[in-house]
Amino acid sequence: MKNKFILLIVSAFLVSCGSKLAPVRKDALKPITVTEPLPHDTDDPSIWIHPTDPSKSIIVGTDKDTDGGLYAFDLNGKILVKSEPLKRPNNVDIAYGLIVNGKKIDVAVTTERESNKIRVFSLPDLKPIDNGGIAVFEGELLRDPMGIALYTRPSDHAIFAIVGRKSGPSGSYLWQYQLSDIGNGIVGAKVVRKFGSYSGKKEIEAIAVDNELGVVYYCDEQFGIRKYVADPASNHSDVELAVFGKGDFKADNEGIAIYKKTATTGYILVSNQQANTFMVYPREGANGDLNSYPLLAEIPTSTIECDGADVTNVNLGGAYKNGLFVAMSNGMTFHYYSWDSVQKRIDEQVKK
């Protein structure tokens, strides 16, 4: 009953937005859960897996406004905790095992657009551990941080934040920062890399890292999805490995989520924002080519104009035995989908 009530509120909000928004397709996937609405404008979610009881895992999402913040939801879509107020948090990502005060802690890192900072919070309590934030793109005229993805290097477990912005120069649009304890339990960061080609068509916001395969994907909106090595120490750190998805999207290619079937196989899901669908590509490439990404399927969802998404293959219990897919929707909510429902649609289209 609660989800039906929330859906009525969301529907009323969408009607008030006018006809510019694409309608939800009749064959769209239906969410298992719709979260409680946030005060302003949801933008990006990330999934934190509880270390001992996956059913207690949470979704951390951004409320994008001048007095916004990070919110943690349980698997029923209920708000559990809110961070301190933030100045327009945009995207968020999660990493496990950052060493602070000699202990490993899990962290959520978000961009704070109006302060030109990234913010670091401990999980699951969403307490700040960054002494008010870490300035990014210092010395640049174009700053406005938007997208973020965290990379954990397998060899030494070093954790890096790859940060995008509203606009920037081709070749150094993205800056990569190594996160570390700088004393007194405070997390700081240093720039270790500047990279990233840019078409100039719109902006780069959605970023995702595949830790196991050691690569980073980002959406050059209205152009395509670009792929680079994630490790800043690589001899190929400036080499663009692939561009895919060109011509596959109605307008903007936005949120990216990576579903891992095995250590090396699975799917890359990218929001076809103005069509209310997700485009699906093979994580492992195709025909023996790791950098070949043919379109496998297009999955219609009930999310409206989705900016951000995340997915896990972990058994969270209940309807999420093979994982959960979460996507932002206009109407100030996030939608939770059973991975099984997504996989079924992929299988149906791949068999055709």
Model pLDDT, residue 352: 72
CA distance 108 to 88: 16
Neighbours of 159 (CB within 10 A): 22
Of the pLDDT bands very low, low, confident and very high (cuts 50, 70, 90), residue 317 is very high
CA distance 322 to 317: 9
pLDDT digits (tens, 9 = 90+) for 89-148: 999 999 999 999 999 999 999 999 999 999 999 999 999 999 999 999 999 999 999 999
Give the pair of three-digit tokens for residue 196. Answer: 């990233």
Across the beta sheet with 79-82, what order do the strands follow? 42-48, 58-63, 69-73, 79-82
The pTM of the full predicted model, rounded to 2 decimals, is 0.94
Range list of β-strands (E), 101-203:
103-112, 117-122, 127-128, 134-135, 145-152, 159-165, 174-181, 187-195
Residue 13 has pLDDT above 70, yes or no: no
The mean pLDDT of the chain is 94
Residue carrying the six token digits 């240093």: 190
Model pLDDT, residue 9: 44
What SS3 state is found at 93? strand
Domains and CATH numbers, the chain: 2-351 (2.120.10.30)
Sign of the torsion formed by the C-alpha atoms of 226, 269, 277 and 87 = negative
pLDDT digits (tens, 9 = 90+) for 20-73: 788 999 999 999 999 999 999 999 999 999 999 999 999 999 999 999 999 999
Model pLDDT, residue 57: 98
What mean pLDDT comes out for the span 142-164?
A: 97
φ and ψ of 162, to 5 deg: -100, 120
Residue 15 has pLDDT above 70, yes or no: no
Model pLDDT, residue 3: 52
